[in-house]
Amino acid sequence: MACPPEIQETAVKAKKGEGGLVDEELKWWQTSTVYQVLVPSFKDTNCDGTGDINGVTENIDYLADLGIDIIWLTPIFDSPMYDIGYDIRNYIEINPVFGTLDDFDRLIKTAHERGLKVIIDVALNHTSIEHEWFRESRASRKDPNGPKRDWYIWHPGNIGEKGERVPPNNWESAFGGSAWTFDPVAGEYYMHIFGDKQADINWENEDVRQELYKALRWWLDKGLDGFRLDCINLISKDQGFPDAPEIKEGAELQQANVWFANGPKVHEYLQELHENVFSKYDIVTIGEMSCGITSDQAAEYLSKYKPRRELNLLIQFEHVELDCHNGDKWMLREWELSELKAIQEDWQNKMLDCGSWMTLWMENHDQPRGISRFTTSMPRFRGFCAKMLAMWLCTLRGTPLIYQGQELGMVNPGSFCPEMNQDVETVMYWESVKDKDEHKIELAKKAILQKGRDNTRIPMPWNPETNRGFCSDVEPWMPVPGDELDWCIDNQRSNPSSVLNFYRKILRMRKSHVALLKGTVQILDIPNPYTYTFIRRYKEMKYLIVLNFSPGAVSWTGRNKSIDLTDAKLLLSNYDYHSPDVVKDPLVVRPYEGLLYQLRPGDPEDVPTENTADYLPNST
């Protein structure tokens, strides 16, 4: 399926003329780099073991020096913290654990003085069951005139074979178990796509929508620069609530993404949200697309050629679901580099064709560390992998999203036993498997080590001191691994070859070369199992990026692809030493090496994409 016809037609017209879409002026959020701060794990300033808003403010210069432009805060709203703040109890109050509104105002002022913008993560699909709205809704279910009786998704349920009351359907929650919980006060089931303490809001009700819009405007009026909208594509559900098709053979509960992801009214709701809120401010909106979205569907959310606008950017998950078997996070599968390249080629092409813009990311608060997932955590390769992945992320077309600690080369701890995890999703999964046979338990332990969300929630390592400088004299809310000494910020600042300084370099380079911002992307030799190679082209400017995703040296040639390496200029490598001689073809690309070349202008526009790299054995 191509870009939707009405969008494609308008996009084709826009491309006519010199430069086409790539010649258009970029918005500020397209040239920016976003840095995600997991507030409870960033920096503790009041010695309670949990990070806070002041911890961000006091380290604003660190972020500015890194070269980022937008600070993305995870939820700081009042919350019971059942799901690290994504269970909101009040949309216009700060969680006292993180600070006060005065602290927030000071952060905004300080960030703006440094030329940085700030956005907040907000969940509009659900609230905590401790939210006053839910309490009123639950209490008024039996009152036909109750003012908030329909602000959440309620259902009387069905009658089972033995006459007992059972949930309305076979939908499984994202955290395991039924997506429905019976509430004795209401006498009905409420829906929760996530945990049972996170009740789904009924977006069919206009009153609750307007209250949400009011809350968002309140934050924007305080100077906020936008929002990351958590699982925003889940706000519209099929109101018939049909059973989900069988994906897990013989299982009582089934994934129901088909009935609640990208639902029938999602675009109507987002257009209304844009008209009521977003259109009135110069902000950026980033929508998280949970439970799957294709590049074709993305155009419906993003394309500027639609008659009504919705979002600026979205976060898709295709590339990080390569290691999921049959859509099950905890069922691991081996993946090939060719699959990763094919996914990104599709997204890069579709976004350009439809006049849309990508986000570029590899880890966040819900995902494991990118080094551990896409390459290797082996100590001798760790630094090379971190820098190579930074080059991959920052030289494609789109807005990079960097997660805290990524710029330090942090990896999955590897030392957490299942019982040490605090994340609700991981805890629920472990509870469901810990009493099974030994083989299944071992598979579960491996899956948790590789995919558990707490992998990226450990505190930031600032210095070699107690708790790596995150907090002092108190126990941190999450354990701090003892093996991060060499990777802490203070030790990397003064090392010109550190991962931190490489990120500083690549982020500035991205902004200083217009082709790395505006240029088209052509991914080469997709079948090749070792290298990820692509061309960035803008007018007469051309750049070649060669990335070795393997632990052995690779021979790569530009011959037969009409890529002339004569006079090629090496702009950046993640290895310190390079021969001063002219670039030779074929290139010998060292293990996990990344190379960024500026090519001389005038090469043909189209190049073949056949396999042109060979693995050199005995080179590890």
* pLDDT digit string, tens, across residues 264-273: 999 999 999 9
Active-site choice (87, 103, 230, 353): 230
State yes or no: pLDDT of 317 exceeds 70: yes
List beta partners, residue 287.
229, 314
pLDDT at 198: 99
pLDDT of residue 304: 75
pLDDT at 409 over 80: yes
Least confident of 80-84, 134-138, 145-149, 461-465: 145-149
Q: Is the pLDDT of residue 604 over 90?
A: no
**Ranges 6-15, 28-37, 520-529, 581-590: which has the least confidence:** 6-15
Is residue 291 very low, low, confident or very high in pLDDT (cuts 50, 70, 90)? confident
What mean pLDDT is reported for the chain? 93
pLDDT at position 12 is 54
State the pLDDT at residue 306: 76
**Which contiguous run of DSSP H or E holds residue 189?**
strand 188-191
Q: Is the pLDDT of residue 361 over 90?
A: yes
Query: What number is the average pLDDT over the span 174-202?
Result: 98
Q: How many CA atoms lie within 13 A of 369 on its CB side?
A: 25
Residue 81 has pLDDT above 50, yes or no: yes
Give the residue from 179, 354, 379 showing the smallest Cα distance to 260.
Answer: 179
Contact 585, 559 (CB under 8 A): yes
Would you give the distance in Å from CA 390 to the centre of its chain? 15
**Does residue 518 register a pLDDT over 50?**
yes
467-495: average pLDDT? 91
pTM equals 0.95
pLDDT at residue 485 tops 90:
no
Residue 335 predicted with pLDDT over 60: yes
Are 471 and 458 within 8 A, CB to CB?
no
Please compute the mean of the pLDDT values over residues 550-563 and round it to a whole number: 88
Pairing of strands 531-538, 541-548: antiparallel
CB atoms within 10 A of CB 176: 17
Strand pairing of 70-73 and 34-37?
A: parallel
Q: What is the mean pLDDT of residues 237-243?
A: 97
At residue 619, the pLDDT reads: 43
Q: What is the pLDDT of residue 2?
A: 58
**566-592 average pLDDT score:** 87
- What domains are there in the chain, each with its CATH number? 5-128+206-249+257-414+457-506 (3.20.20.80), 132-200 (3.90.400.10), 415-456 (no CATH), 520-615 (2.60.40.1180)
What phi, psi does 400 have (nearest 5°)? -70, 140
Q: Check pLDDT > 80 for residue 20.
A: no
Q: Which element (helix H / strand E) includes 182?
A: strand 180-183
In the predicted model, is pLDDT for residue 17 greater than 90?
no
Segment 48-71, tens digit of pLDDT:
999 999 999 999 999 999 999 999
Q: Would residue 103 show up in a list of annotated catalytic residues for this protein?
A: no
Burial of 18 (0-12, 13-18, 19+ CB in 10 A): exposed
Higher pLDDT, 598 or 603: 598
Task: List, in order, residues 6 or more apart from 135 with CB less than 8 Å away.
Answer: none
pLDDT tens by residue, 421-449: 999 999 999 999 999 999 999 999 999 99
Q: Is the pLDDT of residue 353 over 50?
A: yes
How far apart (Å, rounded) are the C-alpha atoms in residues 425 and 428? 5
Mean pLDDT of 408-416: 92
Max Cα separation, the chain? Answer: 82
**Average of per-residue pLDDT across 513-540:** 96
Question: pLDDT at residue 398 above 90?
Answer: yes
Structure tokens, 49: 């073991």
Q: What is the pLDDT of residue 292?
A: 83
Q: 3-state class of 587 per DSSP?
A: strand
Our measurement of the distance from residue 201's CA atom to the centroid of its chain's CA atoms, rounded to an integer in Å, reads 23
Confidence of residue 18 (pLDDT cuts 50, 70, 90): very low
- Catalytic residue, candidates 272, 288, 525, 593: 288
pLDDT at 144 > cutoff 90: no
230 has catalytic annotation: yes
Tokens at 77, concatenated: 């709203």
Q: pLDDT > 70: what percent of the chain?
A: 92
| pLDDT confidence of residue 326 | 86
Name the residue with higher pLDDT: 310 or 481.
310
Within 10 A of 286 (CB to CB), how many other CB atoms are there? 24
Residue at 420: amino acid letter: M
The reported pLDDT for the residue numbered 582 is 66
